[in-house]
Chains A and B, each alone.
Chain A
């Protein structure tokens, strides 16, 4: 290519990198997206893990996509499912419960566990509906300023404070009370059924280094629930397809097999990147959608960053805890006692919050959970094309498998992990093992290597109270800008964090374009 000078070079073609590129290109900027892997999508990219069987991305939960982005991608083929599907929580006794966000539909199931809880669930959902708009406004806007030093920041804080105040005294104090709590306390204040509590708590601690009794986990559940909408038709890869189509329509150049070796800095200004093959790409600005440790510590020559910031980025907690398992099955997935139901999503735990906590305990001592908690999806129910006729694919996120496991992630450790996870699921799906025709296990170490995420942390950094909002990833980089002129962050390591939302990418791009 002759003209190698761009307005913006985006590092990483994950959903956030592409969302950033799209936002930038919409503003007529000349953008190149540089992807290390052989296909765009990052953790959202589809992968044929066994001949004929495709897993729709490492990310399996697409319920959090930013609504505005969904609208923008509609012309490029993005569709949301018309209906929500329930999440099934099996129990040892074979009873289990299916949970919908829709309280009315859930009522019938929950009532089987506890009549009180069925009613409480209605109240709980009603509370979420009331505070939802506020919570979403927090999650869809840049983080609030952290000081009142200028009139503008005072105004901005006042505006945000007012939005919170508008919830009314009761809901406002409730939001403030819940925010620092642990999810177990919050749920147990509302529900008596341990099974229901465990099923609801699971997303709050998934991909994090926290258990349900860890303070700060309640707000993660609040975020997850308030953001949840219907999932994407075709899952995460469909989002990538739409993003790629939209980007290309606006002239964005997406280069695969183009790993960035370092970010070029001159006189304190980012001026492009150098690829691993030595190819230099000039760009007036660089937007890094990779994780902050990678962007600021690995890709930047030491010296450009203030020492304090270097230290802080080094201190960002990002210890991957999720293992991913993909199973190719010769037949459907039949949960014991629910053989007739086509269950698309299940949360397999021990049936109590303590079981979830015990799973986490192991991670603290650098061990894989003895009884991991599983987030199970069967994408082939909605999308049969992922596997041969009548065959199925199961994708599993297992918590907790710490990145820094004692003894390291050897092949033996990987196999043992895979077996443990399959056994755990097979306890509720008796026919599972006989139907497995193929399997892939990705440890946090595999995720780190294959998807270039530091420590295999799917969120690019712990979702913890001290790593949220204006603290994510550090105060001086929280508004997407870095101390290096022209270098911006736009990945999950920035507010509002990980998950298939596209929000950090969009907000990062908007910050870059702001005058």
Chain B
């Protein structure tokens, strides 16, 4: 039986659709009602509240904490100031990505790491012989993501946090209905939003306070289906879908470097050694093989395709994670791994990994599209990412 998150009592009562899925061994709501669209619109137009407790969370403390994380992450964690959060990824010796997540510096010698995959063994291995205490806080910390244009107003209504002072990718402590919480201005929707962390025993109180405060602002509990759509709009990659954690695959060709999954910008290459540095230096010198791109399906060809079958254009309402081949002319140049219809942008979007030489912005590619059991292709253009990037996301 899957584990229950600290919010299960509330989420289970609300989940009238009975649609759940496994997230790191926990039961996670896919959608609360039969349609997930209201949840999508909550994220984009009012405020969505999603239980993200199944994230793996680790507390790294001690005088060598920064040294350990600087060695582990491609980003120079030594430079991270107190009260800041950073998004980064970490690699194996060959510069292939193991996982991605956030690092929050809570105090001088205190960091919190989130990860998609279990990471304790890796932290422990790297921490051998260092003055550092590593604690798996995955079960003891509960987390909610509050995302959407009204998120700030909801939070202001129920907590004492200085939200105007809390800039993008910062952390603050606060009281929320008397409960001690950390609030980070982070999220996986690419919108204005916060993630709120507390000890698991306070979870329900925190949920109730947020829901009560949110009623006036259109807050809605959301599930993973809506989150998946928003993260694709935001151009965020997902481990196990858009790329594969290097130690979990055997084939070399299935592994990716940070550059190849669009995380090249997180690398601080020239500094003390970190894991994968040599390989990433070589990659910088000789170039990478692949690149992550955003694809936008050309609506006219799609419509024409369906028209040729005498059908109205049909696209699934939810995001899809089955990989599809991407061609340039007759040559397969890569694969599209995440797809969604964007109700807001009225576009069909895909995240794709294509050969570097074919990855220029504006290139016209073909993506497989099945109509009536027949495999056809439609035109798709490489467009800049994120597909959706509201200014409110970073606005002070």
A residues touching B (Cβ–Cβ < 8 Å)? 268, 297, 302-304, 306-309, 311, 314
Contacts and interface: CB of A to CB of B under 8 A. Distances in A.
Interface string B123-155: 001101110000000000000000000000000
A303 B67 CA distance: 9
A308 B129 contact: no
B125 A268 contact: no
The 8 closest A-B pairs by CB, nearest first: A306-B93, A303-B273, A303-B71, A308-B93, A304-B273, A307-B275, A307-B93, A303-B272
Nearest to A311: B125
A307 B246 CA distance: 14
B274 A303 contact: yes
B130 A268 contact: no
Which DSSP category, helix, strand, loop or mixed, fits chain B's interface? loop
A498 to B, nearest CB: 26
A302 B92 CA distance: 15
A268 B126 contact: no
B72 to A, nearest CB: 9
A481 to B, nearest CB: 15
A268 B278 contact: yes
Contacts of A314: 128
A307 B94 CA distance: 10
24 contacts: A268-B273, A268-B278, A297-B129, A302-B71, A302-B126, A302-B129, A302-B130, A303-B71, A303-B272, A303-B273, A303-B274, A304-B273, A306-B93, A306-B275, A307-B92, A307-B93, A307-B125, A307-B126, A307-B275, A308-B92, A308-B93, A309-B93, A311-B125, A314-B128
Interface of B: 71, 92-93, 125-126, 128-130, 272-275, 278
A394 B71 CA distance: 52
Given A307-B125, A314-B128, 13 more contacts: A268-B273, A302-B71, A302-B126, A303-B272, A303-B273, A303-B274, A304-B273, A306-B93, A306-B275, A307-B126, A308-B92, A308-B93, A309-B93
Nearest to B91: A307
Contacts of B71: 302-303
A311 B129 CA distance: 12
Nearest to A314: B128
A304 B277 CA distance: 10
Contacts, number: 24
A314 B274 CA distance: 19
Contacts of B275: 306-307
A268 B277 CA distance: 10
Nearest to B129: A302
Contacts of A303: 71, 272-274
Contacts of B272: 303
Contacts of A307: 92-93, 125-126, 275
A302 B125 CA distance: 11
A311 B130 CA distance: 15
Contacts of A304: 273
A302 to B, nearest CB: 7
A307 B278 CA distance: 12
A303 B129 CA distance: 12
A314 B125 CA distance: 11
Nearest to A298: B129
Contacts of A311: 125
A309 to B, nearest CB: 8
Contacts of A268: 273, 278
A423 to B, nearest CB: 41
Contacts of B273: 268, 303-304
Contacts of A309: 93
Contacts of B274: 303
A268 B93 CA distance: 14
Contacts of B92: 307-308
Nearest to B71: A303
Contacts of A302: 71, 126, 129-130
Contacts of B125: 307, 311
B122 to A, nearest CB: 9
A307 B274 CA distance: 10
A314 B126 CA distance: 12
A258 B159 CA distance: 62
A309 B278 CA distance: 14
A378 B170 CA distance: 74
B112 to A, nearest CB: 22
B372 to A, nearest CB: 49
A309 B273 CA distance: 15
Nearest to B279: A306
Contacts of B129: 297, 302
A244 to B, nearest CB: 35
Nearest to B275: A307
A302 B126 CA distance: 9
Nearest to B68: A302
A304 B274 CA distance: 8
A15 to B, nearest CB: 30
B143 to A, nearest CB: 29
A392 B275 CA distance: 57
A119 B273 CA distance: 63
Contacts of B130: 302
A268 B282 CA distance: 13
Contacts of A297: 129
Nearest to B274: A303
- Residue of A304, A306, A308 contacting most chain B CB atoms (<10 Å): A306
Nearest to B270: A267
A226 to B, nearest CB: 38
A77 to B, nearest CB: 44
Contacts of B93: 306-309
Contacts of A306: 93, 275
A456 to B, nearest CB: 20
Contacts of A308: 92-93
B276 to A, nearest CB: 9
B277 to A, nearest CB: 8
B385 to A, nearest CB: 31
Nearest to B126: A307
A267 to B, nearest CB: 9
A268 B279 CA distance: 12
Nearest to B122: A307
A49 to B, nearest CB: 34
A307 B125 CA distance: 8
A309 B129 CA distance: 16
B246 to A, nearest CB: 11
Contacts of B278: 268
A52 to B, nearest CB: 44
Nearest to B64: A302
A371 B309 CA distance: 89
A482 to B, nearest CB: 13
B62 to A, nearest CB: 14
Nearest to B72: A307
A315 to B, nearest CB: 12
B285 to A, nearest CB: 14
Nearest to A483: B278
Contacts of B128: 314
A483 to B, nearest CB: 8
B104 to A, nearest CB: 23
A303 B126 CA distance: 9
A130 B133 CA distance: 59
A306 B91 CA distance: 11
B188 to A, nearest CB: 28
